Amino acid sequence: MNKLLNKLKKSDIEIPIAIGQFLARIPFSVRPGIAKTYRTQKKLILDFENFSVKQKEDLIYKKFYKVFEHAYLNVPYYSKLYKDHDIKLKDISSFADIKNIPIVTKKELMAVPLEERSYPIKNRLKVNTGGSSGKPFSFYMDPLRYGNEWAHIHYMWSKLGYRPTSLKLGFDGRSTVTNLINYDFIRNNLRYDIYADPFLVCEKLSHIVKHKKVEYLHGYPSAIYEFAKHCKENDAALLEILKKTLKGAFLSSEFPAPHYRNEIENIFNIKTQAFYGHTETCVMAMETNKFEYEVFQTYGYAEGCKLDNKTTNLVGTSYFNFASPLIRYNTQDNIEVLKSKEGWLERFKIKEGRNSDFILDVSGNKISLTGLIFGRHHKLFELCDHIQISQEKPGKATIYYVTTDNQYFGEINELFDSKNIKIEFDFLKIEKPILTQSGKINLLVEP
C-alpha cells in the first residue's frame, strides 16, 4: 500500500468528483498504509496538551532517540559526524543531552552524496525542495510521513470547521493541471490552473460550483489573492456562489502577507489560517494569533537556536524520516521565540517573511514564482546550486543558474518544466548567485 501511495503521490489520476467524494468518506484511521500512524498521532496531539513538562520531554526524547540511533548505526554521513564529535549512543541518554548533538545545515548536507546521508527504506520517494532562496536540496522521503502529516493537518484545519469530506479549491504550482480545473481525489481537492487565463478557468469553475459545494481555499496566498481579486472585479456571479459556501482559507508555502490575506478575507467574508511547514517535514506549527505559530512537538522536534549574537534560527528534527534523516536541521528561518521551555519551543513568529514575486506571461497574466520554481519538480534542480530569475518584458524571462557540474551536454531548457506557461525562457549560467546589498539571495533579480 505504501508503494501505491508513492505512485499516487507522483501521478495525477483523474476520477469523477462524485466518486472521489464518496471515497473521501473512508476515514483516514482505517485507510491502508497510513491508518496506524494516523490514529496514533491524532491521539497523541490531544494527549500531549495534558502532559506534564517531564512527560513531554520524555516523549520528545523517545521519538528523537529512535531516529538518532538509526542514523548513528545506519547512515554513513551521521555515523562519521557523530564519531568526529566523539559522541557515543550512550552519551544521549536523556532529553537534556540532545543539545550536545551538532546542528546540521542544508549546505553541509548538500556537500555529501545523497546515498551517504540516506538509508534504503522500502518505497522511499526522492523529492527536492528549493526553499525560499532558490537553493535546491534533494533527499528521500519515508512513507511513514503520510499518517503523521495528515493527523496534524486535519487537527489544524478542524479549527476552521474542516473535515476530510470538505471539498477544497487548491492553488499550487504543479504543471499537471489539465483542462483548467482538475479534481485530485487523494486530497479531495479541485486544482486551479494558476498559469492559465483566469477568465477561462473561472468559466469552468462556475459550472462546477453550481453542483459541488466548495468549502475551503488552500494554497499560495499570492495566487488565492489573484483569484479573489479576479472574482471581485470580473465575476460577480461566481463570487456570490463562493461567498455562500466558503468557510475559510488555508494559506501555505509563502509568508501570508497582510495585504494578501486581508483582501482574501474581505472579498470572500471568511477567516484565513496560515501554518508553518516544509517539504523536509521537520517542523509543523499552527497559527494561533496572526503571524504567531504554535509548534507541534508531536510532529517533529522543534528548537529555537541562537547561532550567533543577532539571530535565532528554527531548528528541527523529523521523527518520521528514516530514509534521509534530518536531525537538528537548521531551517535557516529567522524567528523570534515567543514562548519556550528548557530546550524546546512552544510559540514563535517569523521575523523575515517570504513575500511572493511574480513575472508576467505574454498576455500580461501574473505567474507566481513560488508556484513556477518550487511548485514543480524541475530536473534542473539536480544539476544546479542556485536558481534565480529576471524579466525585461512580459512573455520573456531569463533563468540564472549556478552549477559546479560541467558534465551535462544537453539542452538546459529541457531540464526546466515550462509546460502550459506562455513565457519564453532563456538560460544563463553564472559563476555565483546574485546578491542584494545586504547579502541576500532573492529569487527575482533585476535584469
Q: Considering the domain boundaries, does residue 360 fall inside one? A: no
Q: Based on the structure, what is the number of domains in the chain?
A: 2
Give the other-Cβ count within 10 Å of 292's Cβ: 17
Q: Which of 261, 42, 289 lies closest to 149, judged by CA?
A: 42
Q: Judge whether residue 15 has pLDDT over 80.
A: no
Q: Which helix (H) or strand (E) holds 17?
A: helix 17-23
Residue 400 counted as domain residue: yes
Angle at 283 between CA 227 and CA 256, to 5 degrees: 25
pLDDT in tens, 135-158: 678 899 999 899 999 999 999 999
420 shares a domain with 347: no
What CATH number is associated with residue 122?
Answer: 3.40.50.12780
Could you tell me the pTM of the whole model?
0.81
Residue 443 lies in a domain: no
313 and 382 belong to one structural domain: no
Averaged over 424-436, what is the pLDDT? 85
Could you say which DSSP state residue 444 is in? B
Instruction: Measure the CA–CA gap between 115 and 76, rounded to whole angstroms.
Output: 9
Buried b / exposed e along 153-169 (16+ C-beta atoms within 10 A) = bbbbbeebebebebbbb
Residues spanned by the domain of 278: 1-355
- 349 and 383 inside one domain: no
> Residue 9 falls within a domain, yes or no?
yes
Answer yes or no: is 181 within a domain: yes
- Residue 9: predicted pLDDT: 47
Q: What is the pLDDT of residue 6?
A: 47
Average pLDDT over residues 204-214: 95
Coil vs helix vs strand at 308: coil
First-residue to last-residue Cα distance in the chain: 48
**What is the grid cell recorded at 289?**
494569533
Let me know whether 384 and 316 are in one domain.
no
What is the maximal distance between C-alpha atoms in the chain?
A: 67
In this predicted model, what pLDDT tens digit does every residue of 305-324 receive, in sequence order? 987 777 889 999 999 999 99
Question: 119 in a domain, yes or no?
Answer: yes
Residues 213, 292, single domain; the answer is: yes
pLDDT of 176 > 70? The answer is yes
Domain-embedded: residue 182 = yes
Domain boundary among 355, 387, 413: 355
Q: Would you give the DSSP letter of residue 103?
A: P
Residue 365 within a domain: no
